Amino acid sequence: DAKTTQPPSMDCAEGRAANLPCNHSTISGNEYVYWYRQIHSQGPQYIIHGLKNNETNEMASLIITEDRKSSTLILPHATLRDTAVYYCIVRGAGYALNFGKGTSLLVTP
Amino acid sequence: GAVVSQHPSRVICKSGTSVKIECRSLDFQATTMFWYRQFPKQSLMLMATSNEGSKATYEQGVEKDKFLINHASLTLSTLTVTSAHPEDSSFYICSARVSGGAETQYFGPGTRLLVL
């Protein structure tokens, strides 16, 4: 499975957009990009996933580059409750997810 | 999204006893469930893959005789930590994959185990 690289931490002001980058240069054609987040002492929460096209749901948008080697998760209006560790995972559909260290996002007032 | 529950949410037990953790998919059927554990300040680590009606597949280094997994129905998988020791104290989390080839896995809230 492809390895991902994320910055260890990021800050974002409340109400502003949070843009979380992820590099996955070794992604293969049948692998999806998944984003999950984990708030302290809770199970991971599914955010969004995509294969090739950009995706949007009620939580976030996922922008995948044309070559699929990187992606960006966008939280359009970050709130304090969005403070969490965000994981970018590349994996084939249906397989177990391998969690790296993720990005610790701190949303400040 | 789909809901996955775990029971209990936290448990304290004495060394040498066994503890059973349940993982249920509440509003969907899950052919496959996954068990993870997470130590403090670390990321989730996959322990095993549980398929309904068949034996679980364990990751390297995870003792199958110590961590017993049963996936007897499409909505329930159980993890039993046998003869628990203090080093088994951890946060145990399950996830469930919706049957039918769907791409998304949903996670339970986790079970915090403390072995004294």
The number of residues making up chain A comes to 109
Q: Which residue from B19, B5, B1 is spatially nearest to B77, judged by alpha carbons?
A: B5
Partner residue opposite B106 with nearest CB, options A46, A96, A98: A46
* pLDDT score of A4: 95
A4 CB-near residues (< 8 Å, 6+ apart): A22, A23, A24, A88, A89, A90, A100
CB contact under 8 A, A45 and B109: no
Mutation choice for A interface testing from B32, B77, B103 by most A CBs within 10 A: B103
- The per-residue pLDDT for range B61-101, each reduced to its tens digit, is 999 999 999 998 989 999 999 999 999 999 999 999 876 54
pLDDT at A76: 97
Say whether A94 and B101 touch across the interface (CB within 8 A): yes
Which pLDDT score is estimated for A29?
A: 87
Count of CB pairs separated by less than 8 Å, A with B: 54
